[in-house]
Amino acid sequence: MDYVSPIDERVRRPEPLARRTASIEGKTVALLDISKNRGAEFLDRLEQRLQAHGAKTMRFRKPTFSRPAPAELIGEIALHGDLAVEALAD
């Protein structure tokens, strides 16, 4: 029987953080719901706050939380959004 460790033991170089935008006013924020319970509820509240600060929002939803987002969905988010928020928790 082969044992496969669930721990990634590779040593990775640190990656630099993305530059932060100075303001969200006028920016389009892509809101990605990963299809877990209450994710949409969280994004509803966040969307209200973002719009109150002058951001435009677009909503996206993964088909299922248990798989990575399809390449087409990632492409849509990259094409239309200046910033992205992903709702992760129940």
Model confidence pLDDT, tens digit, residues 34-87 = 988 888 899 999 999 999 999 999 999 999 988 899 999 999 999 999 999 998
Identity at 4, one-letter amino acid code: V
- Residues 74 and 3: their CA atoms lie apart, in Å, by 34
Q: Is residue 22 part of a domain?
A: no
The pLDDT score that the predictor gives to residue 1 is 80
Which whole number is the average pLDDT over 6-21? 87
What total number of domains does the chain contain?
1
Domain region containing 44: 28-87
- Residues 40 and 38: their CA atoms lie apart, in Å, by 5
**Sign of the torsion formed by the C-alpha atoms of 75, 32, 35 and 15:** positive
Q: Is residue 69 part of a domain?
A: yes
Which whole number is the average pLDDT over 18-44? 92
Q: Does pTM surpass 0.85?
A: no
Most confident segment among 3-12, 14-23, 36-45, 56-65: 56-65
- Residues 13 and 45: their CA atoms lie apart, in Å, by 36
Q: Is residue 9 part of a domain?
A: no
Tell whether the model's pLDDT for residue 89 goes beyond 70. Answer: no
Q: Is residue 8 part of a domain?
A: no
